[in-house]
Chain A
Amino acid sequence: MERLRRPGVVPLIIAFYMFILYAPVLLLPVFSLNDSIYMNFPLKAFTTKWYVEMANDVSLIKSLWASVKIALIAAFVSTVLGFLAAKAVTQYQMRWKGVLIGFIMLPLIVPSIILGASLLSFFRQFLDVNLSLWTVGLAHVLICIPFSMLVLVARLEGFDRSLEEASYDLGMSAWQTFRRVTLPLAMPGVLASMLLSFMVSFDEFLLAYFLSGNQATLPVYMFSLIRFPKSMPAVLALGSVILILSVVIIVVAEWLRRGKVKT
């Protein structure tokens, strides 16, 4: 369309999309500073009391820590598993490589409700374990693996194997080579994978809802609060804090991920 070439049209379109994508989410911090339990305009008065209320909510803080712990573990484990798999598929000849990669990507495609239902059945009926934060953690590793794998495959694709070979030739052991050659080169990818996995796990609701038993994670706790208007402002305050932290984490992760392999 020639009209798109006119000056000002493209920025206008981008601004329109940015507005639609961001405006709904940005309402949360706006209302979290508003002195009213109703979320509508015009705004009443500026207040930080919802943040104080949030910080004093013991179950909220408890669920926050539960989520942080799970997300840290899920990020670490999925990055280790994703790294091994990414190394395997990028640097070795393999039969059925596409099928194997596709299989590892499946948790990204299968609807969460199916994953949740089958893992519930698996943990409770087959393994006969009690639901806890550990069962949530395992489920989160499963859904984080595809993200770790995608990020790390992209990172390791341009990896020059001869660097590792040189290291072996110079008498380094496998572990030394990994520590001093492979890992440093893959580091941006590893960090990006950990940050993205952390976010995926930290935000995940449905699997945690199925598998957390009586220990709520943060999204599960927030979901239980959403039904009560009185507790809404504290949820908004919390949501705003998460929002800001998420944006920081994602910007760092994306920046790391899109960096080129430098050797």
Chain B
Amino acid sequence: MSLRRRLWRLWFLNENLRGYFLLLPTLLFVFVMLMVALVTLVVQSFWVNNPPGDAIQYTLENYSMLLTPHGEMYRVLLVRSLWLSLLMTISVILFTYPIAYVLAFHVHKHKVFWLIAISIPFWISYLLRVFSWKVILQHDGVINSILLGLGIINEPLDNLLHNRTAVVITLTHAWAAFAILPIYVSLEKIDRTLLEAASDLGDSFMRRFWRVTLPLSMPGVLGAVLLLFIRNVGDYVTPALVGGVSGTMLGNLIVSLFTDMDNEPLAAAVSIVMMLVLTLVVCVFVMIIGGRKRLKGVT
């Protein structure tokens, strides 16, 4: 048998090999663009900030600086970014759960239509959606002009834009669809007979919701929580457009380290620290959730 024939036979007979072969290009691409790129970022974070062309020197300074009093701004912004991302995540879940619930249990006609209608705004340019909130909240913006026009206020409200509330509101709106869909899916999957059983056994609506519906919809909720929390810690656009000084987040600082301050190694170090802290927070969260599940399984 020629080599070609032999390879051809191997290809046809060994199913699994074909699977791995098909997967290889995608896997390789993601591996290089994600993991290799991340490694280069880690390496760069140990560089001295020399002008390009100079010899590369290594240092721990970029990291140790973050622990000194000079690094206070970085620590403050990191904590604030985590905190705002958490607030935003909670606010998204509170905002989206009711509509996901209504869609899953009380809409019977044209479900697909409503699902598409709800997910469309998510696909519209993120930049434009954030920008529209700037238009709504700014000094001579929509809310102020309406309130002035109706005579409810005499002076435009100055505290709508450029603060943390504006950041949380804008992000909540921008990411809503990302939470509605997974929560809807997990609510939709709930076996309706369980709900009927709870009612038949005398549970009130609220009691049934707390003890049956909510726990069973947790996979969707937790999935959304993790995704939203992780993705938003490093947000740049929203704080840049509506955050002002008090709403600035770590992402803005990282970008300005890359651009205005021209200190790429430090920017790399701050990015790496952000990612490590984020990973740690997520791991602790997942462990607590996992631990609680196991505890419930025993009792």
Q: Could you tell me the distance between the alpha carbons of A246 and B119 in the complex, rounded to whole angstroms?
A: 12
The answer to whether A205 and B116 touch (CB under 8 A), given A31-B135, A38-B140, A210-B258, is no
Tell me, yes or no, whether B126 is within 8 Å of chain A by CB. yes
The answer to whether A110 touches B254 (Cβ under 8 A) is no
* Cβ contacts under 8 Å, B142 to chain A: 27, 39-41
**Which A residues between 175 and 199 are near B, CB-CB below 8 angstroms?**
196, 199
B21: nearest chain-A partner, CB-CB = A88
Q: Could you tell me the distance between the alpha carbons of A113 and B149 in the complex, rounded to whole angstroms?
A: 41
Whole-angstrom distance between the Cβ of A192 and the nearest chain B Cβ = 12
* Cβ contacts under 8 Å, B135 to chain A: 27-28, 31, 39
The answer to whether B27 touches A104 (Cβ under 8 A) is yes
Tell me, yes or no, whether A100 is within 8 Å of chain B by CB. yes
The answer to whether A122 touches B112 (Cβ under 8 A) is no
The answer to whether A111 and B234 touch (CB under 8 A), given A40-B145, A118-B38, is yes
The answer to whether B27 touches A246 (Cβ under 8 A) is no
* Cβ contacts under 8 Å, B202 to chain A: none
Chain B 4-30 interface mask (CB, 8 Å, partner A; 1/0): 000000000001101111110111011
Tell me, yes or no, whether B205 is within 8 Å of chain A by CB. yes
Q: Could you tell me the distance between the alpha carbons of A121 and B267 in the complex, rounded to whole angstroms?
A: 10
Tell me, yes or no, whether A109 is within 8 Å of chain B by CB. yes
The answer to whether B127 touches A120 (Cβ under 8 A) is no
Chain B 164-183 interface mask (CB, 8 Å, partner A; 1/0): 00000000010011000000
Tell me, yes or no, whether B244 is within 8 Å of chain A by CB. no
The answer to whether B19 touches A94 (Cβ under 8 A) is yes
The answer to whether B123 touches A81 (Cβ under 8 A) is no
* Cβ contacts under 8 Å, A31 to chain B: 135
Segment with Cβ contacts to B, from A45-53, A54-62, A68-76, A134-142: A134-142
The answer to whether B40 touches A258 (Cβ under 8 A) is no
The answer to whether B251 touches A219 (Cβ under 8 A) is no
The answer to whether A226 and B241 touch (CB under 8 A), given A17-B99, A20-B173, A88-B23, is yes
Q: Could you tell me the distance between the alpha carbons of A251 and B234 in the complex, rounded to whole angstroms?
A: 30
Q: Could you tell me the distance between the alpha carbons of A102 and B98 in the complex, rounded to whole angstroms?
A: 29
Tell me which of B19, B98, B237 contacts A93 (CB under 8 A). Answer: B19
Tell me, yes or no, whether B280 is within 8 Å of chain A by CB. no
Tell me, yes or no, whether A166 is within 8 Å of chain B by CB. no
Residue count of chain B within 8 Å CB distance of chain A: 85
The answer to whether A100 touches B23 (Cβ under 8 A) is yes
Q: Could you tell me the distance between the alpha carbons of A58 and B246 in the complex, rounded to whole angstroms?
A: 36
The answer to whether A141 touches B41 (Cβ under 8 A) is no
Tell me, yes or no, whether A114 is within 8 Å of chain B by CB. yes
The answer to whether A27 touches B136 (Cβ under 8 A) is yes
The answer to whether B123 touches A250 (Cβ under 8 A) is yes
Tell me which of A4, A113, A210, A235 contacts B106 (CB under 8 A). Answer: A4
Chain B 237-253 interface mask (CB, 8 Å, partner A; 1/0): 10001000000000100
The answer to whether B20 touches A94 (Cβ under 8 A) is yes
The answer to whether A111 and B233 touch (CB under 8 A), given A117-B41, A205-B127, is yes
The answer to whether B149 touches A42 (Cβ under 8 A) is yes
The answer to whether B141 touches A39 (Cβ under 8 A) is yes
Chain A residues proximal to chain B, CB less than 8 Å: 1-2, 4-5, 10, 13-14, 17-18, 20-22, 24-25, 27-28, 31, 38-42, 81-82, 84-85, 87-89, 91-94, 100, 103-104, 106-115, 117-122, 125-126, 138-139, 141-142, 145, 149, 196, 199, 202-203, 205-206, 209-210, 219, 222-223, 226, 235, 239, 242-243, 246-247, 250-251, 254-255, 258
Chain B residues proximal to chain A, CB less than 8 Å: 15-16, 18-23, 25-27, 29-31, 33-34, 36-38, 40-41, 43-44, 98-99, 102-103, 105-107, 112, 114, 116-121, 123-129, 131-136, 138, 140-142, 144-146, 149, 173, 176-177, 205, 226-227, 230-237, 241, 251, 254-255, 258, 264, 267-268, 271, 274-275, 278
What are 17 residue pairs bridging A and B, where the CB atoms are less than 8 Å apart in the complex?
A4-B105, A21-B173, A25-B124, A40-B141, A84-B26, A93-B15, A111-B251, A112-B231, A114-B38, A118-B271, A119-B33, A122-B33, A126-B36, A141-B29, A142-B34, A223-B127, A226-B131
